[in-house]
Structure 1
Amino acid sequence: MIDQSQYNIGVPAEDLALYTPGGYHPVRINDRFRHGRYEILNKLGFGSFSTVWLARDHQNHCNVSIKVVVANKSDAQHGELEILDHIKANGDPQHPGRKHIMQLMESFHHDGPNGRHLCVVSELLGPKTTTVAEKCQNHRLGSRLARRVSQQLLLAVDYLHSCGVAHGDIHMGNVLFRLSETERSSLERIEELNTPLQGNVTRKDGASLDKGMPDYLVEPIEYYAKNKEHLDEIQLVDFGESFFVASPPKSIYTPMSLHPPELVFRRTLSKVIDIWNLGSTTYELVIGRTPFEADFDDRELIPQFQKVVGGVPVEWVLDAINDGVLRERPKNFSAEGFLSLEEEIKRSYSDDFDRSTLELDEEGLQTLGRYLRKTLVVDPAHRATTKDLLRDAWVSATGV
């Protein structure tokens, strides 16, 4: 196991310890993939199981995104690729939500010192909604844009569910703005980006690097649209936690504060976890923070569920105690300061801000509250479906 503390690393980047057999591929700027077709230009990001790169497609003369998966997750049955292939083959091309789902352009394998890596090529997208929100007033999207994004996200989920797929990991970090065709194709836009920020990797004891380790890491950049006011269309990305509705997993990995109640109570999962996270993400898009907060243990969320939306079944708590999920009935200290959903929306959206800067009036907040009440339902059996939500005034009043 690599001890990262024994190395000098010049930039913030992925965990160096994962550059081992079965782990990351050491990608370098200007590397060529797929017989020279794709040229690596910069890094877009990284996760526990992949690094993501901005590349030039010299065959189609456009810029693309390439995800390079760790070798031990790159076998032919890799779940994300299977899901994307299924969506591409079985989805209705006329469904309005299709354009809001990341589209697989192609995939291939690349051999390197740490193994054989699955490479997934997709459309180059713009910034995450989280990044844009951080640069906005009050650190949240304007209400009109937030509403439009939440509407498109609902269409994306409806499309996935029509394909028999649940996303499993909906949050603002997985909702990205699309770029215009010009933005995606232009080499001039690439030249406007900063030179890739590279940091040399060296051992503190002066010894040589092990085989399969990079001699430098690259700090991820954010690829912005040139005209930010044109950021009005999104795509839902990252299908690493997605599953077929007919065969749900026992657990998923998603940000703790967004864990749906059935995951917290270790109950059976289903596609309606997407409905809960659709509601949580819509709340965050408009309000600027998640509706629930957990720092160390997702069981901290249970009293918050009860206080904000109510409806935690007593039998769930008793079953959790009997099964060892809970040792005792949850204490209410983690819900201190929380109000009911409608009161939280009003307080968090408007009470601490200059009302002249707010786009949603009281009626708009009530419309939002009614929509969220249909999504943030503790018992998944009573949660709304995407078809129910598509008829809701939050969506239907303004169109998409």
Structure 2
Amino acid sequence: MIDRFQYNIGVPAEDLAKYCHGGYHPVHLNDLLCDGRYRILDKLGFGSFSTVWLARDEVKEIYVSIKIVVAEQSHNHNGELQILQTITRTGDTTHPGHKHVSHLIDSFYHEGPNGRHLCMVLELLGPKISSVVNRRPNYRLDGRLARRISSQLLLGVDYIRSCGVTHGDIHLGNVLFRVSGLNRIPTFDDSRIGKVSRKDGAPSEKGVPEYLVEPVEYKFDKSEILDEIQLVDFGESFLIGNPPKSICTPTSLHPPELVFRHPLTEVVDIWNLGCTTYELVTGRTLFEAWMDDRELVPQFQKVLGGVPDQWIQDALKTGEDIQASYANGYDKETLDLDEEDLTTLGSYLRRMCIVEPTQRANLTELMSHPWVQVDKGTQKEQ
């Protein structure tokens, strides 16, 4: 692995040290992939195991997203690819949750200086919810919009469950807006390119890109409607019949069975759906932990109570905690959910955030809950 401290970089981007054998593929703007079919136009994001790019499909003449996986994870049995293929193969396209889940369009392998890389082509989406709320005055969505999106997220989870898949990593960073206007690509800014060079003037090591690109910031005019989402990133997903021993998801969202090292099942999605819904509506996390999930244990005891089967029930029974989280510190004119709405939300969350996994609500029960059913009526009125 190279020493990134020996390099000048210039822009915030992925870890340069991972541009080595088995690591990232060095991508440059206007690169062509898959025998010239896909032209790289801009960077959308990056993670520990991949970079994600805006590209143009020169055959279909559409814009797409391409996720380029690090070489060491690009084996023929890549878990995320298998999950996406399973969803494509078994999913019912008439299911209402189908449009709220990211789908595989194409996949191929690309040979580069750092190895052989799996490339997954997906629908081009808009910004993450987490990015949008960070630019809002109150750092959260309008209450009615948050409620509508929470319903869509439930539909998406129900859809992948019908395919025998557990997502395993539901959080606001993995929920993206669908945007109608993406036939126009984001405006590119040359200042987002950072030339890569060694501080001692020597040539860069093999596999290091000439420059890094800072991910694009989406900018939309007031006519753009952001009201529909997709659940993305199946890197931690698993088949219901073959659960892993552990999953990597944000520490504050670790379900109790992961914290206490109990067997994982598909209902980890129910816990994370509850925590994410709470954050989506209130703008605050239900629990907080940084690197060590043991930090969550005293919070479980403090926030949820002391008796295991009553932990979340007692805390959310009256809805007072939710009302406080929703209202405290916000301008009154921005509070578009009333006490009845928040009491309904509390009832919904109580069925998901239960410490004992076998006692959590099933998806059929959640789909018929007033929090979701009332929202369907609200959508029709708007």
Q: TM-score band (shorter)?
A: over 0.9
Report what 1:26 is aligned to: 26
The code of the aligned residue for 2:43 comes to: K
Q: 258, 282, 287: which is aligned to 1:287?
A: 282
Q: Give the alignment's TM-score, normalised by structure 1.
A: 0.90
Distance 1:295 1:234 in 2: 27
Distance 1:72 1:207 in 2: 27
The code of the aligned residue for 2:298 comes to: P
The code of the aligned residue for 1:174 comes to: N
3-state secondary structure, aligned to 1:108: strand
Percent identical pairs in the alignment equals 61
Please state how far the C-alpha of 1:308 moved relative to its aligned partner.
2.2
Distance 1:345 1:148 in 2: 18
Q: How many aligned residue pairs are there?
A: 371
- Pairwise mapping of residues 219-234 of structure 1 onto structure 2 (< 5 A)? 219-227=214-222, 229-234=224-229
Distance 1:117 1:228 in 2: 39
Change beyond 3 A, Cα 1:228–1:70: farther
User: What's the C-alpha RMSD, in Å, of the aligned pairs?
Assistant: 1.6
Distance 1:261 1:228 in 2: 43
Q: 365, 372, 376: which is aligned to 1:388?
A: 365
Whether the 8 Å CA contact 2:11–2:193 is kept in 1: the answer is yes
Listed one character per residue, the Cα deviations across residues 36-58 of structure 1 (whole Å, up to 9, x for unaligned) are 11111110000010000011111
Structure 1 gap ranges (5+): 315-338
Report what 2:256 is aligned to: 261
Structure 2 gap ranges (5+): none
Please state how far the C-alpha of 1:194 moved relative to its aligned partner.
3.0
Distance 1:171 1:358 in 2: 23
Whether the 8 Å CA contact 1:33–1:39 is kept in 2: the answer is yes
Distance 1:194 1:227 in 2: 21
Please state how far the C-alpha of 1:344 moved relative to its aligned partner.
2.5
3-state secondary structure, aligned to 2:375: coil
Q: 291, 295, 298: which is aligned to 1:300?
A: 295
The code of the aligned residue for 2:362 comes to: T
Whether the 8 Å CA contact 1:283–1:291 is kept in 2: the answer is yes
The code of the aligned residue for 1:59 comes to: V
Whether the 8 Å CA contact 2:151–2:375 is kept in 1: the answer is no
3-state secondary structure, aligned to 1:249: coil
Distance 1:311 1:157 in 2: 30
- Pairwise mapping of residues 71-220 of structure 1 onto structure 2 (< 5 A)? 71-180=71-180, 183-186=181-184, 189-190=185-186, 192-195=187-190, 197-220=192-215
Please state how far the C-alpha of 1:165 moved relative to its aligned partner.
0.4
3-state secondary structure, aligned to 2:351: helix
3-state secondary structure, aligned to 1:141: coil
Listed one character per residue, the Cα deviations across residues 109-159 of structure 1 (whole Å, up to 9, x for unaligned) are 011001110000011100100111112231001001100110000000001
Listed one character per residue, the Cα deviations across residues 88-109 of structure 1 (whole Å, up to 9, x for unaligned) are 0001111100110001000000
Please state how far the C-alpha of 1:398 moved relative to its aligned partner.
2.1
Change beyond 3 A, Cα 1:126–1:257: same
Work out whether 1:359 is the aligned partner of 2:336: yes
Report what 1:272 is aligned to: 267
Q: 377, 394, 400: which is aligned to 2:354?
A: 377
Please state how far the C-alpha of 1:225 moved relative to its aligned partner.
4.3
Distance 1:350 1:382 in 2: 30
Whether the 8 Å CA contact 1:305–1:312 is kept in 2: the answer is no
Higher alpha-carbon deviation: 196-205 or 138-147: 196-205
Distance 1:351 1:6 in 2: 47
